[in-house]
């Protein structure tokens, strides 16, 4: 179906003007109610989108630096759609989690003054009294000028699946909201229940400290074009470079994206068997596992001495790389590249899956305070 976009400026009333929703062809002759398989009327589809927008906007608002009570940008119910009792409790818990994250961010010297959330409904599928809505969220937050050297904004794009159930009175209840995008949590996404750590040994990379060091470290001049790496990543963080294949549906695109940026800055292909981590290359038909795999990239990078581990994530400069092991199970889960560093020494990372622009290392640590972090000087 055709996407319908809803726009919400946090703290403001949701704009009422909506695009028409194009439904499956079978919907044209179906008006029997929400249980009709594969169909939903336009008004209900729009209500689904408004509710998705309201929930995600409210989550974003919980992060804002304001002394006033956070006001909902749109009601969490209308004549057609509302939250179930269970989902209401889940959202209350989510907001509590996000307010705790806001406090951790404040302790790390970061806050947001305003935000804008837009939700596009990509697809609605109805079957036997249940509706599944695929939606894309694009959110931008403005950094508060605490030190004065922060970039203007951070932004991300995330995909969500919303589940609705029909009620006996012919209305709908939101029963579930799940992110379908791999990678670190978006800044407004509540933390998932942690998975118990496994006992496998960590890879050879050395974990980096996440505390703010007493003395910032300046990145020395290197043999690569770090500005070109940052420029590439910031150009293609949201609109992918068509010259490269995507791996979002094959474990995530994060390491592929970082490899592209490194190549733009001067990293040369190293030939060899595709499955051998000691090789690193990409061509028109295939690529080495080290190009797309987080662990393999680390092994290649350290073995080839193209990068070294840093003792602290705050030592990273533009063009340096950070990896995360979310649950400390010994396997790296995500790869990011630094595209901006403030004069006070805070690195800002850009990455794919969730597509994100200039997110501070402090923001990531606040979302994942117990993860393992690896910093690489390229």
Other Cβ atoms less than 10 A from the Cβ of 107: the count is: 10
Q: Tens of pLDDT along the chain (378 residues)? A: 445 566 555 433 333 222 323 333 233 333 334 434 456 778 888 889 999 999 999 999 999 987 543 444 556 767 788 888 878 888 888 888 898 898 889 989 999 999 999 999 998 988 777 888 999 999 999 999 999 999 999 999 999 999 888 887 788 889 889 898 888 899 999 986 543 343 444 347 999 999 999 888 889 888 899 999 999 999 999 999 999 999 887 778 999 999 999 999 999 999 988 878 889 999 887 889 899 999 999 999 999 999 999 999 999 999 999 999 998 878 899 999 999 999 999 999 999 989 999 999 999 999 999 999 999 999
Provide the pLDDT for residue 74: 57
Q: For the segment 170-208, what is each residue's pLDDT rounded down to a tens digit? A: 888 898 898 988 888 999 999 865 433 434 443 479 999
Provide the pLDDT for residue 188: 95
11 phi-psi bin (left φ>0, alpha ψ -120 to 50, beta other): left
pTM above 0.75, yes or no: no
Token pair for 141: 């937050």
Q: CATH: 1.20.1740, 2.30.30, 3.10.450, 3.40.50. Which one for 4-179?
A: 3.10.450
Q: For the segment 215-261, what is each residue's pLDDT rounded down to a tens digit? A: 888 898 888 999 999 999 999 999 999 999 998 877 789 999 999 99
Provide the pLDDT for residue 67: 55
Residue among 187, 198, 212, 36 nearest 102 (CA): 187
Domain ranges within the chain, ordered by starting residue = 4-179, 226-377
Q: What is the residue-wise DSSP string for 281-325? A: -B-SS-B-HHHH-HHHHHHHHHHTTS-EEESBGGG--TT-EEEEE
CATH 3.90.1720.10 fits 226-377, yes or no: yes
**What are the residue ranges of helices labelled H in the chain?**
42-61, 85-107, 226-236, 254-264, 289-292, 294-303, 361-367
Tokens 């290197």 sit on residue: 222
- Is residue 44 within 8 Å of residue 81, measured between CB atoms? yes
Provide the pLDDT for residue 6: 61
Write the burial class of residue 3 (CB in 10 Å: 0-12 exposed, 13-18 middle, 19+ buried). middle
Please state, in angstroms and rounded to a whole number, the distance separating the CA atoms of residues 296 and 261: 17
Q: How far are the Cα atoms of 124, 185, 251, 257 from residue 334, in angstroms, in the given order? A: 30, 11, 10, 11
- Is residue 378 within 8 Å of residue 262, measured between CB atoms? yes
Does 4-179 match 226-377 in CATH topology?
no
Token pair for 225: 């074009």
Please state, in angstroms and rounded to a whole number, the distance separating the CA atoms of residues 13 and 4: 18
Provide the pLDDT for residue 7: 58
Residue among 125, 123, 128 nearest 35 (CA): 128
CA angle, 182 then 249 then 265, to 5°:
75
The distance from CA 213 to its chain's CA centroid, rounded to whole angstroms, is 27
Provide the pLDDT for residue 116: 94
């Amino acid at each position: 179906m055709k996407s319908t976009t809803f726009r919400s400026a946090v703290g403001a009333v949701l704009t009422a003007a909506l695009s028409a929703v194009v439904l499956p062809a079978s919907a044209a002759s179906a008006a029997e109610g929400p249980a009709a398989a594969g169909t939903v009327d336009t008004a209900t589809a729009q209500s689904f989108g408004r509710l998705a927008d309201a929930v995600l906007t409210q989550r974003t608002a919980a992060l804002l630096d304001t002394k006033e009570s956070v006001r909902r940008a749109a009601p969490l119910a209308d004549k057609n759609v509302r939250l179930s009792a269970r989902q209401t409790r889940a959202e209350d818990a989510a907001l509590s989690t996000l307010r705790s994250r806001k406090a951790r961010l404040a302790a790390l010297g970061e806050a947001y003054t305003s935000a804008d959330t837009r939700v596009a409904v990509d697809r609605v599928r109805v079957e036997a009294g249940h509706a599944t809505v695929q939606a894309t969220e694009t959110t931008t937050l403005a950094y508060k000028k605490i030190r004065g050297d922060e970039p203007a904004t951070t932004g991300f794009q995330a995909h969500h699946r919303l589940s609705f159930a029909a009620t006996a009175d012919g209305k709908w209840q939101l029963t579930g909201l799940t992110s379908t995008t791999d990678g670190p949590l978006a800044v407004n996404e509540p933390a998932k229940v942690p998975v118990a750590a496994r006992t496998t040994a960590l890879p050879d990379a050395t974990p980096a400290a996440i505390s703010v060091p007493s003395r910032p470290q300046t990145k020395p001049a290197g043999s690569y074009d770090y500005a070109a790496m940052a420029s590439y990543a910031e150009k293609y963080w949201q609109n992918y470079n068509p010259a490269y294949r995507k791996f979002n549906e094959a474990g995530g695109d994060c390491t592929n994206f970082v490899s592209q940026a490194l190549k733009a800055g001067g990293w040369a292909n190293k030939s060899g068997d595709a499955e051998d981590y000691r090789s690193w290359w990409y061509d028109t038909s295939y690529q080495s596992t080290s190009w797309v795999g987080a662990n393999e990239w680390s092994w290649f990078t350290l073995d080839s001495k193209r990068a070294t581990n840093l003792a602290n994530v705050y030592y990273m400069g533009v063009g340096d790389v950070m990896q995360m092991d979310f649950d400390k199970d010994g396997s790296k889960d995500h790869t990011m590249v630094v595209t901006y560093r403030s004069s006070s020494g805070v690195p800002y990372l850009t990455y794919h899956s969730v597509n994100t622009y200039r997110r501070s290392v402090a923001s990531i640590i606040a979302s994942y305070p117990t993860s393992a972090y690896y910093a690489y000087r390229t």
